[in-house]
Structure 1
Amino acid sequence: MDDPDQQRAVPTAFAPPPPLWKYFTRENVDKLNEIKNEASKKGNGQPDRTKQWSGEELRALDVPPTLRFLVPPEAPKGEYSVFGELQSLSTTLPSLKDQDIEQLYPEPGADPNQNPADPPQPLNHAYYLLKISKSLLLNFLEFVGILSESPEQFEPKVNDLRNMFINAHHLLNVYRPHQARESLIMMMEEQLRRTKDEIKQMDKIKTDIEGALEELQTEGNRITSADQLANGNSQSDISSQKAEDARLVWELLEKEN
Structure 2
Amino acid sequence: MDDDETELQNPFPSPPSHYTKYTTHNLKLLSLLRERSGDNVAETDQRQVLSDQSDVPDWQLTQLEKPRVDWILDEPDAYYNVFGEMWFVKEKIPSLADSGRSQLYPEDPKIDRRPALRSILRSLLVTYSALMSSLLLPPPPLASEIPPEYQRHVDWISLLTTNLMAAANDLRPVQARANLESMMRRQLEIRKEETQTMHEKCDALEAKLREIRASVANLSNHQTHHKQVGIISSTVTRRS
TM (normalized to structure 2)?
0.49
TM (normalized to structure 1)?
0.46
Structure number, greater radius of gyration: 2
